[in-house]
Amino acid sequence: MAVHALRKGPERSRDEQFVGRCRELAVLHAQLGRVCEGRSSLVVLEGPAGIGKTALAGEFLSTIENAIVLECSGDEGESELPYGMLGQLGAQAQQAPEALAGLARPATGVTPDPLVVGAALLELLAQLQLGAPVVIAIDGVDWADLPSLQALTFALRRLRTDRVLAIVIVRESDHPRLPDGLRRLLRSSAALRLPLGGLSARELQALSARLGPVRLTPQAAERLHEHTKGVSLHARALLQQVRAETLSDVDAPLPAPRAYATLVRGRLGECDTAAQRLLTAAAVLGTSAPLHLVARMAELAEPLPALEQLTGAKLLVEWRTGSGVSVGFPNPLVRAAVYHDLGPATRRRLHLLAASLVDDVVHRLHHRLAAADQVDGDLVREVALVGRRQAAAGHWAGACGCLTRAVQLTEDGPERDRLIAETVEALLAAGRPGDAEALAAQVAPGGDPGVHGYAQGAVALVAGRVEEAVRHLDDAWAHGRGEACGRGGGDGWLASAVAGRQAMAALLKGCGADAARWAERATCPPCDGTEFVRFARLVGLGLAGDVEAGLAEGAELPVPAQAGSGELDALLGRGTLRLWADDLAGAQADLLGLLAVGAGRSAPFQLLVAVALAQAEYRLGRWDDAAGHAELGASTADDFGQTWLASYAHAVAALVPAARGEWERAATHVRAARAACSPGNVSAQVSTAAAEALVATARGDHDAVVTALTPLTRTDLPDEPTVVLWRTLLADALVNVGRPEEAEAVLIPCELLALDRERRSVLAAAARARAGLHASRHEHGEAEICYQVALEHTAKIEMPFEEARIQLAYGTFLRRRGRRSAAAEQLEAAQLTLSRLGALPYLEQCDLELAASGRAVLRPQDTARLGLTPQEHTVAVLISRGLTNRQAARKLVLSVKTVEYHLSHIYTKLGITSRTALIGKLSDLGE
């Protein structure tokens, strides 16, 4: 039983190893703020043992200043001792009421009434809060004695306008040991429940860095999270008990913490022999298996009685599938505890038996390896063959495991070096660049220069060191491998791998023609190609100015759901080209389909799909979806070390926050994009500069736009108009800073390319920029024509944000010309779209122009006072302007039924029944 001193101020030392729980800490601090205002609060920290409830409470208490802190805790050994928990409070308080102070020195045989003790606790809290807010933390409530719980319930139920924050820490708020009254209180609306889950993989990674000696890789942290379910107690124990090499090797099995293994062995020792055999067989087979297979392993004709014992002891769980009953472990730690307790002979015998029973080739091979005393050459070659097949099918996790094992079992020499190169490819695809770099360094210095060059080049490319990568890959190709392969000899896989990496390097450099040529070499017989070869071929054609040829090559591809594994990268290429060619619906269809079927593909593949999809959704005006997919791409780049694509991913992730005025979020992504840039990575430089310019444009900082984009004018860039759309941003900014001649020079190449390729998206943006240029020269007639041309282009493609920007610029132009009615028409159209998108910086500008045009401005916050949601606000404004339900639905990209649904809610909330009444209501607000 712990006894803590009454204190005022932060006397508790902080846990330097505490990580995560930012949301929960923020909630606790918010509740303390509420208490300081004279409103009591009851917070319930709830979660299983070891999840970190006590640590969270301790971290919060250590940060409190100018508050009085009381702490007490229940204990299993004192659960029958009357007032064993609340007696701690009497010992802490120097002038506690006698009924409470006496609990620390109870008279023999006398147990005070819980109501009297509860009243004394209330009296103590009333006295203390006169000087400062009071925080009382009650830990281990489910182990506390019954009188303490009854008195506590009495006191907590009567806190109303007190400056008291009560934190109750419990495994389950409806635990059967708790009195009925306390259970009802903890689960009522009077209590704020904070259920705790496990730490995330990122938080475990941070915890490993604090505990030392090494910081886990994202993959190793993910494995630890899966193994422990993020339970802090178990994760900390493993980080402190297991060697760093084992923790970092994601292919090595993790044990259970020693204390947990002892608990499992104790439970298993209470089961009979049949149950022990069944559990041992299950542990050897893996985390789950069909019951009939486990029973055969355990040599049990009737396994159900044994299974009943094990499920009752919470050592196994069962579930029914279409093929029968399967069993598994409640969590991986149980399995690890049982498996690691097996002796070597038992483990070998059971693995051999499992290898003869399982059907899956990878699992069979795993059991054979686990059973082998020493591995012969045939088995190693079989492991490598299975790994290669897994890689060819895009099953990178399985490929990594098999190929890494094959490398470990192969003696030094050319065959091992070749295996290393293949394993490096698999590790990079699996998002494990750190492991790939460490393995690439093991290629023998005097070995095959082609293998060495490829391994080093592939690692350098994914690390974003493009120029270094190209040097290594050039060396690999020059040492006869590529030429020999072209003559029908040599190492076909290696030549294809080198050419495939060269194709991707060319894309990063912006050299589309080179990318297409390298991709063609990578697919020449007898080469097999690599994951991105067809993607590089199609996108290379697009960058070289021949999008139509690329689309023609991909025209016969099936939809993603019906595509084979080898067609998915071509579909990614087709989706990208459709995006550039303004076929936004087609691009979205391809990319959404790939997102659904590509979950098992490589980390860079998933990143490219998510980011390209985000771009399509951004242009289509589906910004919430775009933001989510862009964040997915950016986090994939960060979590899986995809530095070569990180600038592109973070730049796209900045688009929606920039347009919505979420400045800090946008700036964070721009900083990350800039940090990942490297010499030679032209794609990264263009993406980052464009993102910086978009943020500056939204802020109205034209000088910053010029600073960000001017360096790109001195770079040889691809001949695809959509890729050089940044020129329209630069032209706008140059006009605004009074440099029209430079704007003209920047704009002309963009216009010519867009006209030649018929890119309406670029033509629309260029016409808007051209209109601004004419207006700055007082060429008003030409300016108006350009605005109208820009709107004609956007009418033929779905790009609501670009259309709204044109309408905003056109309306501003008309208003300054004194044509207020025509200006208001354009501005009101822009306002609706910008409001729906949440583009606040542009919406504020639009509102100012509308007000200057003499129109009342009705903002969502105005109608919010009437109870309307933002979506209902937009529908109400459209209907009040005379649009039919169908017209409003088309404008908002909604169904007619959805508009009717919103309209019915609007009428109900406003207490009206007609459109005329709606117009009157909104007119009153706009006055």
Instruction: Return the structure tokens found at 625.
Output: 């979806």
Residues of the chain with pLDDT > 70: what percent?
A: 92
Please enumerate in sequence order all residues whose Cβ is within 8 A of that of 745, keeping only pairs 6 or more positions apart, or say none: none
Q: Which two tokens stand for residue 492?
A: 């076909």
User: Which range in 71-80, 124-133, 419-428 is most confidently predicted, on average pLDDT?
Assistant: 419-428
> Which residues fall within 8 angstroms of residue 469, CB to CB, at 6 or more apart?
457, 458, 460, 461, 501, 505
Q: H-helix or E-strand containing 417?
A: helix 414-429
Q: How confident is the model at residue 583 (pLDDT cuts 50, 70, 90)?
A: very high
**What are the structure tokens assigned to 737, written together?**
């800073």
Distance separating alpha carbons of residues 8 and 30, to the nearest angstrom = 19
Q: Which residue has the tokens 């995006």?
A: 579
pLDDT band at 174 (very low <50, low <70, confident <90, very high): confident
User: Which amino acid is it at 641?
Assistant: G
First to last CA, the chain: 67
Amino acid 594: pLDDT: 93
Beta-sheet pairing, 288-290 with 324-328: antiparallel
pLDDT in tens, 629-641: 999 999 999 988 9
- Give the span between the Cα atoms of 78 and 868, in whole angstroms: 56
Structure confidence at residue 12 (pLDDT): 56
Instruction: Kindly state the tokens that stand for 758.
Output: 């018929």
The residue type of 831 is Q
The C-alpha angle with vertex 826 and arms to 820 and 832, in degrees rounded to 5, equals 125
From residue 873, alpha-carbon distances to 643, 830, 863, 926, 927 in Å are: 43, 15, 6, 13, 17
Check residue 10 and give its pLDDT: 43
Residue 757 — pLDDT band, cuts 50, 70, 90? confident
Which residues are 288's β-sheet partners? 328
Place 861 in a pLDDT band, splitting at 50, 70 and 90. Answer: low
Cα–Cα dist 409/422, whole Å:
15
The pLDDT-based confidence of 209 (bands split at 50, 70, 90) is confident
The H or E element that residue 134 is part of is strand 134-139
Of residues 317 and 252, which shows the higher confidence score? Answer: 317
- Better-predicted residue by pLDDT, 899 or 569: 569
- pLDDT grade for 525, boundaries at 50, 70 and 90: very low
Least confident of 373-382, 447-456, 488-497, 646-655: 488-497
- Whether residue 344 is preceded by a cis peptide bond, meaning omega within 30 degrees of 0, is no
Alpha carbons 649 and 137: distance in angstroms, whole number = 45
Number of helices (H) and strands (E) in the chain: give both, helices first: 50, 9
Quick check: 536 and 510 in contact, CB under 8 A?
no
Helix, coil or strand: residue 867? coil
Q: Report the pLDDT averaged over residues 353-368.
A: 86
Residues in the chain: 927
User: What is the rounded average pLDDT of the residues 287-300?
Assistant: 90
Q: Which whole number is the average pLDDT over 9-22? A: 68
Question: Six-digit token pair at 381?
Answer: 């070659």
| Token pair of 868 as six digits | 């309307």
- Asked if pLDDT for residue 109 goes beyond 70, the answer is no
pLDDT of 480 > 60? The answer is no
pLDDT above 70 (res 491): no
Instruction: Give CA–CA dist 110/82, Å, rounded.
Output: 10
Per-residue pLDDT averaged across 432-455, rounded? 89
* Residue 73 confidence (pLDDT) above 70: yes
What pLDDT is stored for residue 9 in this prediction?
44
Please tell me the predicted confidence (pLDDT) of residue 84: 82
Residue 450, SS3 per DSSP: helix
Instruction: Collapse the DSSP code of 661 into the 3-class scheme (helix H, G, I; strand E, B; otherwise coil) and give the result.
Output: coil
Mean pLDDT of 890-898: 71
> Does pLDDT of 250 surpass 90?
no
* pTM, full prediction: 0.74
Under the banding of pLDDT at 50, 70 and 90, the label for residue 654 is very high
Instruction: Report the pLDDT value the prediction gives residue 287, as an integer from 0 to 100.
Output: 84
* CA–CA separation, 316 and 331 (whole Å): 9
**Separation CA 532–CA 501 (nearest Å):** 9
pLDDT band per the 50, 70, 90 thresholds, residue 857: low
Q: How far apart are CA 678 and CA 315, in angstroms?
A: 52
The Cα–Cα gap between 514 and 502 comes to 9
The string of DSSP codes covering 70-124 is: EEEE--GGGTTSTTTTTHHHHHH-TT--HHHHGGGSPPTT----HHHHHHHHHHH
Residue type, 198: G
Which among 166, 125, 165 is positioned nearest to 34, based on CA atoms?
165
pLDDT grade for 517, boundaries at 50, 70 and 90: very high
pLDDT at 859: 65
